[in-house]
Structure 1
Amino acid sequence: MIYLTMFVCFITSILITPLVKKLAFKIGATDKPNKRKVHERVMPRLGGLAIYLSFLIGFFILQPQHLIPEEPNAALAILIGSTIIIITGILDDIMELSAKVKLGGQLAAALVVVIFGGIQVNTINLPFGGELDFGFLEIPITILWIVGITNAINLIDGLDGLAAGVSSIALITISGMAMMMGYGFVAAIGAIVFASTLGFLFYNFHPAKIFMGDTGALFLGFIISVLSLLGFKNVTMISLIIPVIILGVPISDTFFAIIRRIVHKQPISAPDKSHLHHCLLKLGYTHRQTVIIIYAIAAFFALAAVIFSQAKIWGAFTLVAVLLILIEVFAEKIGLVGKNNTPLLKIMRGLKYVKDNR
């Protein structure tokens, strides 16, 4: 049933997207070129609505709510939260809402999931024994995770097919791992959103005929954040790191964007053209090559998450350490923080110099 539903979602997304494109032009949900953007012509941006509608059809066909008896309100909360996010995204795609209003919509959606749905990070079993109970912080931490990941996906939506492709890789990884761990609800939701996104990607890959807009980026970020909570909550600290690794591309890009703005004494919310995809474009890669490179990086993180999930404690710690070093070296190589902010590369050059002059 799941595979048939995925096929229906995929075909529905392909059929609905051209209609959404016409609607976007009709209601003025378009993206105009400017100095910060890569495209050079007016583009329709409402594509996330096609993903959402396809997801809804898949949800009502599959009716996955019976797969999560321990969280009876979770399915309805996800539907309500998703609808709030979609409305926020549509309004932003039409009239460009202020950052505060967009954040308000995200917080409202997160609160529905956390309060009504009961989806919260409560405790973590520590690797060397004992348990960490978040207590009164469990709600703020859960909301911070949902809002943070939602915005991280939104931040990487800068090239044709980029956010859709990276999200698809994250969704199929979360869904596959959830299936192995026996979380049927997470696997089902992840699968139908993946299929819906893949159908939209048919029109969104370079050269794009339509953008997903904030409607899509916020929806995908919201769904991914909630599914990762459902699939990996109330487990060990090692397991809690799994979704962080799966989402390595958007999380690291967001992290370095914050560091970059702090270093350059800019507001954290200030837009710029120094994100991962911008840096790769500056290095001479084409639009399509840049997207494929980032897909490959996202797939590498997904594979690392699978390996991490099977590793022993010390193996897991070693893998994380190696990943962090690789991320830092790569970030410094392409200039994610700035051309002159390369502390690790400087240390490596210094060690090489010492070695060569012994």
Structure 2
Amino acid sequence: MIYLTSLICLIISILITPLVKKFAYKIGATDRPNQRKVHQKIMPRLGGLAIYISFLIGVLILRPQDEFQLAILIGSAIIILTGVLDDVFELSAKIKLGGQLLAAGVVVLGGVQVEFINLPFGGELEFGWFSIPLTILWIVGITNAINLIDGLDGLAAGVSAIALITITGMAMIKGDIFVVSIGLIMLGSILGFLFYNFHPAKIFMGDTGALFLGYMIAVLSLLGFKNVTFISLIVPIIVLGVPISDTFFAIIRRIVNKKPLSAPDKSHLHHCLLRLGYSHRQTVLVIYGISAMFGVAAVIFSQVTIWYALVIISVLLLVVELFVEKIGLIGENYRPLINFIRGILYAPNVKK
């Protein structure tokens, strides 16, 4: 029944996206081209509404049961409302952040919190009151990370789909039926929308979609890996390696250049690949491939011993460092930072 519901969500998403496209034009939810954007014509940007409607229908059909279900649905409604208002009226960064904090707060009050972790060599680390800000920081951070990579046709939707495949697959291994159900409902809804969103896109997901996908991925990853071992807690970070690393380097750029964290720029991963000569579609496919690599690494990481896990982490950090330097994601002005990271990675080898 779960797989059938996912298929139904995919079909519904395909059917209603054209209706959402017409609605977006009607209410003025459009994205106009400018110097920092890749598209060259006015585009409707309310596509995330189609994903959300398909998702709700899937939940009504399957009715997955969990103590956190109501809080998640209320939070998703808040995040969707925030996204819709931004797509129509272009809200300020503070108001958008307020909506994200409210949605995250609802989930936390509903009981979704990382309260403790089991340490690798024995013992338990209790977070106490810090569990609330840590959980909110994770949800808001991942929500914005997905929003930041939404710069090319099909990019955010595809990366989110790959992350959901990984999270759902690991939930299957653990026997977590609720996460599997919600994950497959989300996956069907996204793939149906991607039919219209892949290059050349006929509609953008807008903040409505990017914020919703980020919020749901953040919450599902918490449900799958909260209150576990320190090593297991790293798994969702690996799964979301592409958006997290892109956000990390974006923050560094803006701090060094003394710009607000919400300031846009054209130095994200997809911008760098485009400057290297990759086409729009090739750039998206390359990032899909990198996301899939992180997904596979996360699955392997979750199944090995602590020492093998540390080896995997070291290799991934080395790959990220080399890739960042190769494509110029940071740039020559940040050479001291690159050397610092390299020193950390290679220090153990030097000591030997």
User: How much does 1:343 deviate?
Assistant: 4.9
Does 1:260 find its partner at 2:253? Answer: yes
Q: For 2:137 and 2:201, how far apart are their aligned partners in 1?
A: 32
CA distance in 1, matches of 2:334, 2:101: 34
Per the alignment, residue 89 of structure 1 pairs with 83
Give the aligned partner of residue 100 of structure 1. 94
RMSD: 1.2
- Counterpart Cα distance in 2 of 1:310 and 1:183: 16
CA contact (8 A) 2:147 2:214 kept: yes
Q: Would you say the 8 A contact 1:329–1:345 is kept in 2? A: no
Superposition deviation, residue 321 in structure 1: 1.2
1:341 Cα offset (Å)? 2.8
Number of the residue aligned with 1:167:
160
Deviation at 1:340, TM superposition (A): 4.2
Contact 1:253 1:276 (8 Å CA) reproduced: yes
Deviation at 1:345, TM superposition (A): 7.1
1:206-245 mapped onto 2 (5 Å cutoff)? 206-245=199-238
Q: How much does 1:270 deviate?
A: 1.4
Q: Which amino acid aligns with 1:267?
A: P
> What is the match of residue 116 of structure 2?
123
| Equivalent in the alignment of 2:280 | 287
Which residue in 2 is equivalent to 1:5? Answer: 5
Q: Would the aligned equivalents of 1:77 and 1:113 in 2 still touch at CA under 8 Å?
A: yes
Contact 2:14–2:192 (CA<8 Å) still a contact in 1?
yes
Separation in structure 2 between the aligned mates of residue 217 and residue 130 of structure 1, nearest angstrom:
38
Deviations 1:305-347 (A, max 9, x none): 0110111101101111111111111111111111343458769
How has the CA–CA distance of structure 1 residues 311 and 46 changed in structure 2, closer, same or farther, with 3 Å as cutoff?
same
Give the count of matched residue pairs: 341
1:352 corresponds to which residue? none
Paired letter, 1:230: L
Deviations 1:93-135 (A, max 9, x none): 00100001000100110011000x2000000000011111000
Amino acid paired to 1:38: V
- Partner secondary structure for residue 190 of structure 1: helix
C-alpha change, 1:231 and 1:346, in structure 2 (3 Å) is closer
SS of 2:152's equivalent in the other structure is coil
Q: Does 1:64 align with 2:64?
A: yes
Secondary structure class of the residue paired with 2:334 = coil
In the alignment, what sits opposite 2:40? Answer: 40
User: How far, CA to CA, are the matches of 1:141 and 1:110 in structure 2?
Assistant: 11
- Contact 1:125 1:131 (8 Å CA) reproduced: yes
Cα distance in structure 2, aligned partners of 1:207 and 1:291: 12
CA distance in 2, matches of 1:120, 1:319: 27
Partner SS for 1:97: coil
Percent of aligned pairs sharing the same letter: 74
Q: Matched residue of 1:341: which SS?
A: helix
SS at match of 2:125: strand
Q: 1:172 Cα deviation (Å)?
A: 1.0
SS across alignment from 1:64: coil
* Distance apart, 1:259 and its partner CA: 1.1
User: Are 2:292 and 1:299 equivalent residues in the alignment?
Assistant: yes
Task: State which of 142, 150, 162 in structure 2 corresponds to 1:157.
Answer: 150
* Offset at residue 43 of structure 1 (A): 0.1
For 1:327, the equivalent position in structure 2 comes to 320
Matched, 1:55 2:55: yes
The equivalent of 2:196 in structure 1 is 203
Aligned to 2:71: 77
Amino acid at match of 1:156: I
TM-score by length of 2: 0.95
CA distance in 2, matches of 1:95, 1:331: 35
Q: Is the 8 A contact 2:321 2:338 kept in 1?
A: no
In 2, are the aligned partners of 1:5 and 1:58 still within 8 Å (CA)?
Answer: yes
CA contact (8 A) 1:329 1:344 kept: no
Work out the CA distance in 1 between the residues paired with 2:102 and 2:339: 45
CA gap 1:77/1:280 in 2 versus in 1, 3 angstroms: same
Distance 1:220 1:144 in 2: 16
Q: Which residue of 2 aligns with 1:133?
A: 126
Residue type of the alignment partner of 1:62? L
- Residues 66-107 of structure 1: per-residue CA shift (max 9 Å, x gap): xx3xxx2x1011111000000000000001000010001001
Structure 2 residue ranges without an equivalent (≥5): 343-352
Q: In structure 1, what is the Cα distance between the partners aligned to 2:262 and 2:79?
A: 20
8 Å Cα contact 1:260-1:336 kept in structure 2 = no
Matched, 1:190 2:183: yes
SS at match of 2:260: coil
Structure-2 change in CA distance of 1:346 and 1:219 (3 Å):
closer
